[in-house]
Amino acid sequence: MSSALMHPAMNIMVKAARRASQIINRASQDVEHLKITVKQQRDFVTEIDKAAENAIIDILREAYPDYGILAEESGAFAGKDSGSEYQWIIDPLDGTTNFIHGFPQYAISIALAHRGQLTLGLVYDTLRNEMFTAAKGDGAYLNARRIRVSKCLHLEKSLIGTGFPFKVFDHLDAYMNIFRELTGKTSGIRRPGAASLDLAYVACGRLDAFWEFGLCPWDMAAGCMLILEAGGLVSDLSGGGAYLKNGNLVAGTPKIFAQLLQIIQKHGTPALSV
Ligand code: IPD
Ligand code: CA
Ligand code: CA
């Protein structure tokens, strides 16, 4: 058993993710009949996001009634102990647009934070049955196997993941300038469409780095935990640790992270660094 899976809370997270995955996998057989609601332009939610989230919350709350919750579809609320220092951060279905289209790239993401610091992270690719887990100080795992970020040293050899701006276009020019420069300086750029899984791929070396602006905490909390425990680095655009708050994320294997951050900072607007 991996040491992340030896944490009692991680066992509950795994149980919650498996329950949600049954809901998601069953629904994936029949995506034409999904009930879809538009939250805002290009931002969709299905009945499955909500059902999966409810299933996750039920299981987590049964085991840890005191803990607070921040979940994409239900928002933030306190547990029985309103003063609890623990908070679950949940994205029940990351990659909803992919899911709606039957595009096989989406995941469940659950993290636990203590006083705002990440302590546990889980990203579950329900289609491939790949369970990524990490506990602070205990390393990161894919199923039972220890994972580490890649050994890639040079940007020219790197494969970089990203998320395109698609809701707010305030920083599109900065984004496109970064994209243009990286297109010429890397082996390739990928936009698979589920940030949590992109980050899990950085943690296990399938990608060498990742950047995206305007993420929400539930998109990245678990994935960042994985990368940190796999020997990688994560930061906001100033190189600081406020990414969960400001939503702007740069992550990667140490060498590629540094080169990527430098390019992003060159093109990034001051507003993005806040
Ligand atoms: C989205 C995905 C996508 C990223 C967006 C997220 P959702 O999450 O992670 O890859 O580019 O920023 O909002 O809405 O599918 O849970
Ligand atoms: Ca998400
Ligand atoms: Ca989601």
Instruction: Express each pLDDT in 84-99 by its tens digit.
Output: 999 999 999 999 999 9
What is the CATH number for 21? Answer: 3.30.540.10
With a 6 Å cutoff on the Cβ, whether 220 touches ligand 1 is no
Q: Is the pLDDT of residue 210 over 70?
A: yes
Which residue's alpha carbon is at the smallest distance from atom 1 of ligand 1?
Answer: 95
Quote the domain boundaries for residue 266.
155-273
Which residue's alpha carbon is at the smallest distance from atom 2 of ligand 1?
Answer: 194
pLDDT at 226 (0 to 100)? 98
Indicate the pTM of the whole model.
Answer: 0.95
With a 6 Å cutoff on the Cβ, whether 49 touches ligand 1 is no
* Together in a domain, 60 and 94: yes
Q: Is the pLDDT of residue 274 over 90?
A: no
What is the CATH number for 248? Answer: 3.40.190.80
Q: How high does pLDDT run on average in the chain?
A: 94
pLDDT digits (tens, 9 = 90+) for 104-127: 999 999 999 999 999 999 999 999
How close is the Cα of 144 to the center of ligand 1, in Å? 27
| Residue from 42, 89, 94 whose mutation best tests the ligand 1 pocket (most atoms within 8 A of CB) | 94
With a 6 Å cutoff on the Cβ, whether 95 touches ligand 1 is yes
* Together in a domain, 143 and 100: yes
Q: Is the pLDDT of residue 271 over 90?
A: no
How close is the Cα of 43 to the center of ligand 2, in Å? 10
In ligand 1, which atom is closest to the CA atom of 97?
15
In ligand 1, which atom is closest to the CA atom of 95?
15
* Together in a domain, 117 and 90: yes
* Together in a domain, 13 and 101: yes
pLDDT digits (tens, 9 = 90+) for 46-94: 899 999 999 999 999 999 999 999 999 999 999 888 889 999 999 999 9
* Together in a domain, 8 and 137: yes
> Structurally, how many domains does the chain consist of?
2
Distance separating alpha carbons of residues 211 and 192, to the nearest angstrom: 12
- Collect contacts of 243-248 with beta carbons under 8 A, ≥24 apart: 243/215, 244/116, 244/217, 244/220, 245/217, 246/274, 247/213, 247/214, 247/215, 247/216, 247/217, 248/212, 248/213, 248/214, 248/215, 248/272, 248/273
* Together in a domain, 15 and 123: yes
* Together in a domain, 143 and 177: no
Can you name the residues that pair with 131 across neighbouring β-strands? 124
pLDDT at 169 (0 to 100)? 76
* Together in a domain, 68 and 124: yes
Q: Is the pLDDT of residue 269 over 80?
A: no
* Together in a domain, 142 and 10: yes
Report every protein residue that has its C-beta within 5 angstroms of ion ligand 3: 72, 91, 93-94
Going by the DSSP 8-state scheme, the letter that residue 116 receives in this structure is: T
pLDDT digits (tens, 9 = 90+) for 235-256: 999 999 999 999 999 999 999 9
* Together in a domain, 123 and 201: no
| Residue that is last in its domain, among 115, 147, 179 | 147
| Residue that is last in its domain, among 127, 147, 167 | 147
* Together in a domain, 265 and 164: yes
pLDDT digits (tens, 9 = 90+) for 160-176: 999 998 777 788 899 99
pLDDT band at 32, cuts 50/70/90?
A: confident
With a 6 Å cutoff on the Cβ, whether 219 touches ligand 1 is yes
* Together in a domain, 107 and 83: yes
In ligand 1, which atom is closest to the CA atom of 219?
9
